[in-house]
Amino acid sequence: MPYLVEILLPVTHTRESRANLDQLRGELTESFGGATLHVDSPAEGIWDDDGEVERDRIVVAEVMTDDLDRTWWASYRKELEARFRQEEIVVRATEIERL
């Protein structure tokens, strides 16, 4: 069964952030044959953090893969958390059916 893997990434308007996104795109394209990054319409995340409202803007990166190597994705998530200086980056997978 094929999967759609989505990575929710923080976005800032700095050269470092753009370089990180370009690097991610290259890595995913090399590993999976292609990637889609929704960079022109970032989403806004909002949540409660011990009574304080937190906000961030996120870009979604997507890849499709026939196999889901959970160990690889867990390791890559940790690498991205360090690169983007985040406590947690969400990486999620959904089984898909091609129509």
Tens digits of per-residue pLDDT, 69-95? 999 999 999 999 999 989 999 999 999
- The label of the residue with tokens 């409202």 reads 53
Is pTM, for the whole model, over 0.75? yes
- Tell me the fold of 3-95: Alpha-Beta Plaits (3.30.70)
**Measured distance CA(63)–CA(21) in Å, rounded:** 14
pLDDT of residue 7: 96
**Measured distance CA(97)–CA(99) in Å, rounded:** 6
Q: Please state the φ and ψ torsions of residue 14, each to the nearest 5 degrees.
A: -125, 160
